[in-house]
Structure 1
Amino acid sequence: MKERPAAKSEVKGNRKPQRRTQEERSQATRIQVCEATLETLYEIGYERTSTTIIAEKANVSRGALTHQFPTRNELIVAAFQHLIDSWAEVYPLADCYNVEHLTICEMIDAYWNNIFSNNRYIAALELMLAARQDNALGRSLRDVMEKWIKKRDAKTLMQLWGAVDRESDSLYFQLVLSVLRGIAVHQSFDQDESVAPRLLEMWKRIAHRIEEDPMREELITGKTSVS
């Protein structure tokens, strides 16, 4: 009896996996090293972070690391950019979610769950503090951060209030983020895991009351409106 020819799906299933291109392998290594950098920053801080420690954590050779990032500064900036890019892809910032409106409490929950509550945010704080330095690294980090802030603020202010140019809205948004930042820092050293969620709920109640206050603009800016 003549054997039937193998179906196309069977032939395809028996094929060996296609090897990744050099560019794909290089990109995978870069991501692996950037992730290891963020983990190291969280675990031991900026000052103690070295390329030797990062290479070991990323499970790559020093040669492979320096091939992708010739200097420590280039690696630090790339890791920060990698983190910022990941933030731009979360709810409600990514375009794919098509979020047209958020309440202040929805915004606080989204930012906390997708950005601030993660250990990677503490790594970001290490880099933000490093950005204060008046040197090439500081300037590069500030450049990455400023571009992110401009994009983030324009998107979220529009989602919250349908405008981006009101001083009171911008100040209020910065206040909201500052409190979330403080809760994130507190969470990083408080052994009582119940405290941060309670602080978050308390802040949402306060933020909601501010949002609903008919005198919100005067409360935030300190300017008295002229009737």
Structure 2
Amino acid sequence: MGPVTPRVTPRAPQQDRSRATRRRLLEAAVSCLAEHGWAGSTVSVVAERAGVTRGAAQHHFPTREDLFTAAIEHVADEWLRTLRERADALPRTGALRTRAVLDMLVDLYTGPLFRAALRLWVAATDEDPLRPRVTALELRLGREAHRLAIELLDADESAPGVREIIQATLDMARGLGLANLLSDDSARRAGVVREWARVLDRSLSHSES
């Protein structure tokens, strides 16, 4: 009797298709949430936008809460990864780097991720199943944004006032994002960011001396 030929199964292509479907659902969920809010972003709407059946969507995400919290987390992870890649092209030191890092952080809070996350945050105030998930996610994103700011600005968090100035920077960026929700606030925002970059650079420079 000759050698037995191993049976080859198409598992890898199936896994690739599954990952691709999951990614389309997550990206469609963020887009729907940013455009239509929680009330208008049902699993059916997201599935249609992603080009998959409702059953396929529920196979990956059994509940609506699963889908939208995973979507925000997915895009946040992508954003953090992209920022770290972009960091290699930033000016190495000085005021130019401070301004470039600040621009990157403000981009987060004035972009579609923040708009979608805000919709989810608001929905969580009235949706009991959603609230603990969103609370945990918000804490995690806050920690990650703070850690990334410290890393990119090469700030010494043990120096007096540095932790607070970094947190103030993130709070300011979040406020600029809120101001941008109803109308294009880019002209006023540019002036605020320019002046805050000077304040931030001076504060960090003093902490090193």
TM-score (norm. length: structure 2): 0.77
Q: Which runs of 5+ in 1 are unaligned?
A: 1-17, 218-227
Post-superposition shift, 1:123? 0.6
| Higher RCO structure (Cα 8 Å, ≥6 apart) | 2
Name the residue aligned to 1:49: 41
**Equivalent residue number for residue 32 of structure 1:** 24
Kept in 1, the 8 Å contact 2:146–2:170? The answer is no
2:82 partner SS: coil
Give the 3 Å change call, closer, same or farther, for CA 150–178 of structure 1 in structure 2: closer
In 1, Cα distance between equivalents of 2:50 and 2:36: 15
Tell me: CA distance 1:29–1:145, structure 2 relative to 1, closer, same or farther (3 Å): same
Cα deviation digits, residues 101-133 of structure 1 (max 9, x gap)? 5743222212234x2332232012112334456
2:110 to 112, 117, 125: 117
The answer on 1:180 being equivalent to 2:173 is: yes
Of the three residues 60, 68, 82, the one matched with 1:68 is 60
Alignment coverage as a number of residue pairs: 193
Q: Larger helix proportion, structure 1 or 2? A: 2
The equivalent position to 1:82 in structure 2, one of 74, 79, 82, is 74
User: Structure 2: which amino acid aligns with 1:124?
Assistant: A
2:58 and 2:167 map into 1 onto residues whose CA distance is 38
CA distance in 2, matches of 1:96, 1:183: 22
The AA in structure 1 aligned to 2:88 is: Y
Alpha-carbon contact 2:30-2:71 (below 8 Å) kept: yes
**Contact (CA 8 Å) 1:36, 1:54: kept in 2 or not?**
yes
Change (3 A) 1:63 1:134: closer
> Take 2:86 and 2:32, find their aligned partners in 1: how far apart are those partners?
31
Please say which structure displays the higher CA radius of gyration: 1
Q: 1:106 to 1:25 in 2, by over 3 A?
A: same
TM-score, normalised via structure 1 length: 0.71
